[in-house]
Chains A and B, each alone.
Chain A
Amino acid sequence: MSLALTPEQEDLVAALRDFLDAEVEPRRVREVMETRDGIDLELWRRMNTELGLGGALVAEEHGGTGLGLPELALIMECAGRAPVGVPLLSTALAAWTLSTVADPGPAAEPLRALASGTSITVPVLHAPDVRAESSAAGWTLHGTAEFVLDGHVADLLLVVARTPDGNALFAVDPATPGVTRRRLDMIDLTRPMATVVFEAAATRVLCAPDAQPRIARVLDVAAIALAAEQVGGAARCLELSVAHARTREQFGRPIGSFQAVKHMCADMLRAIEPARSAVYYAAHAAAGDSPEAPMLASLVKAHCAEVYTDAASATVQIHGGLGYSWEHDAHLHFKRAKTSELLFGDPARHRARLADLAGL
């Protein structure tokens, strides 16, 4: 393993950055934020047809590109630059869940649908309230899943639910009777989430219980992917801040010549680069099924959350009145940073887990 990017990875990053910088246009992001679903389906369609992002983690035999976790980290890092409502994180985790938790047979068709970009498939990995019951008629789901990423627009839900023999993975069509879903009105309009309620909704099982060890590994991947997104967001905040500090003049000179501003920018860089090292390290460790991977997942999720939150906060401050406006992107990062901090486990919880795993 090398933490330096391969030429292929450099190309991936360049293509993604070029696309996002050109296509995620501030006015359009704000329009999408005000829509009912908060999702830019047209942008997502192009991300599939032009970049193949829906199938990035899907094996080639199912029509995907078969990329691995280091590439997932790079994709999420790029995506973090441009907060906008697209089901990238959710579908990527769905692909990984299908590939590593579901049995190969039932996983094949949904993987193909993901790779072709025809299905927004969304995982529900942590819903302690949801249980599955088996009867002669088949399996049914019961309970409420909270904060499901893109749950309101999903074409297929992959739900981890309790069974008498442990947790297993279930697939459910949201149009099935007994499924109701409601988008949550949250502070961050670029990361829509939904509450999904299951009332004896018919479902099919994708693997035998107890699948929790494999599910736990997907949760670690989710933490690493989100940490990568946080690093990308923080790096974008620094870019915005530096660009502003170089051009905005007060007292007859660029504000970036003042040490108060310089030092804020320097502190962002010295937080971001080690965080990026950690994310790359964690992604490689998870890809290699290293015994350190769970520890590293909690480490990066706890740490990168704070790096992004701090960077977004500094970015608002460095931009002055503009940084507090709706027009500027600073608030998108500021809100996304808080959402990401709390999603998939907050920093305190991950530090507690890290402490246990590190033998403190």
Chain B
Amino acid sequence: MTGTREDELRAEVRHWIAAHRAEAMHTVGAHPPHDHRTGEREARWLDLLREGRWLCLSWPQEYGGRALGELECLAVGEEFARAGVRRPHLGMGESLVAPALLAHGTEEQKRRFLPRILSGEDVYCQGFSEPGAGSDLASLRTTGVVDGDELVVHGHKIWTSGATEANMMFLLCRTDPDAERHRGLTYVLVPMSGNGIEVRPIRQMAGGEGYCEEFIDGARAPLSNVIGGLGNGWRVAMTTLGAERAGEVITQYPGYRAEFDRLVARLRDLGRLADPLVRDELTRLLIRVELMRFTGRRVADELRAGNHARELLAIDKVNWSELHCDLGAAAMSLQGLGGLVRPDGDGYRVDEFQRAFLESRGRRIARGTNQIQRNIIAERALGLPK
């Protein structure tokens, strides 16, 4: 099972990390800030990762990947995590558009879009949610009308993370108003600039502008940008990559542990660690953080043994997002009122724990609310009726 190819790959990763340690970005916390922008240092690090071919590992080689299997992707992820080095992914282009393209795109589409995701030329945002269509995504009302060889889109999208940074939006629109609601949807890649899309940032709880709403008035995309064909958008949108989710489960521990350790250090500085109630609450959190380590290990071992680990993957999103909420809330409670004092400076600045306290609330809503996630766990992993 531990084939030599995987061992060689691990050795290659370790060697590469050792050679680039000076430039490496380290694991700092559980999650990057919502309004995170790629800085110069991170851009340089991404370039190095591109040169080393450590991004988009599962893609076929002709599109710039390494054609690695699930276990090999895991091995690379594990080695980076073990070294405490970040391997940022290329946003939703990598995590959501590419899997959809690889599963449903034509050869021409893969060749046209994938290399631009890898190079960073195309940065994507997700045009799914609408003011009237959140968890009930299939009720969306943005329309797409075929005009010659183009699709013309009208509508209103909202809660779009990273829309101001993106030059492309992958969106769902209704192209057949008469079809059953899931069937009339189309998944299309739409250019953002000079295309009738007005982007309005929305200020978030943590003070920054991590998401936006878009008023789309006649945005045009060639029909060759439709993935999976007209009316097939629901299936395309539901594409997820198992390897990526497993990779997340396996590599998320170091960031959480680093954040926990910094909280402990903060409380030690504040002289709070001797308080038995503080210790007990911290220990409860420590247990949940450590569970990530054991579960990550078990997922990797199950996949290596040829098992599916379906239950472990299904519960992951609720578990990490609930833990982060509790970690953030505890960070505030355990520091006392002093923990609520924001750092000096203009605007609504927050420190890392205040950020965790606030932004964690967004993460249990994003990517399928945790209520919807619990429905999915109950229905798909436990077989309870709809």
Contact = CB atoms under 8 A, between A and B. Distances in A.
Nearest to B312: A273
Nearest to A263: B374
Given A254-B385, A256-B385, A281-B294, A269 B315 contact: yes
Given A3-B298, A246-B384, A256-B378, A352 B279 contact: yes
B337 interface: no
A277 B298 contact: yes
Interface string B236-279: 00000000000000000000000000001000000001001001
Contacts of B165: none
Interface stretch (B26-34, B45-53, B154-162, B281-289): B281-289
B61 interface: no
B23 interface: no
A299 to B, nearest CB: 6
B319 A269 contact: no
Interface stretch (B64-72, B122-130, B301-309): B301-309
B377 A246 contact: no
A325 B379 CA distance: 28
B269 to A, nearest CB: 14
A281 B290 CA distance: 11
A136 interface: no
Interface of B is mostly: helix
Interface of A: 2-5, 238, 242, 245-246, 253-254, 256-257, 259, 261-263, 265-267, 269-270, 273-278, 280-281, 299, 302-303, 348, 351-352, 354-355, 358, 360
Of the listed residues A266, A280, A354, the one surrounded by the most CB atoms of chain B closer than 10 A to its CB is A266
Contacts of A265: 378, 382, 384
Interface of A is mostly: helix
A4 B306 CA distance: 9
A259 B290 CA distance: 30
B112 to A, nearest CB: 40
Given A4-B305, A277-B295, A269 B382 contact: yes
A26 to B, nearest CB: 23
A265 B301 CA distance: 26
B384 A242 contact: yes
Q: Looking at chain B, what size class is its interface with the partner chain?
A: 35 or more
A266 B279 contact: no
A263 B295 CA distance: 21
A249 B14 CA distance: 57
A270 B377 contact: yes
A267 B305 contact: no
Q: Which 6 A-B residue pairs are closest in the complex by CB-CB distance?
A: A4-B305, A262-B378, A270-B315, A266-B377, A256-B384, A266-B374
Given A4-B301, A277-B294, A262 B287 contact: no
B381 interface: yes
Contacts of A274: 291-292, 294-295, 315, 319
A299 B382 contact: no
A347 B123 CA distance: 49
16 contacts: A3-B301, A242-B384, A254-B384, A257-B384, A262-B375, A263-B374, A266-B374, A267-B374, A269-B377, A269-B381, A274-B292, A352-B276, A355-B283, A355-B286, A360-B283, A360-B286
A107 B153 CA distance: 81
Given A265-B382, A269-B377, A277-B297, A302 B312 contact: no
Contacts of A269: 311, 314-315, 377, 381-382
Interface in B331-386: 371, 373-375, 377-379, 381-386
A319 B315 CA distance: 24
B379 A355 contact: no
A259 B375 contact: yes
Contacts of B280: 348, 351-352, 355
Given A2-B304, A352-B279, A273 B311 contact: yes
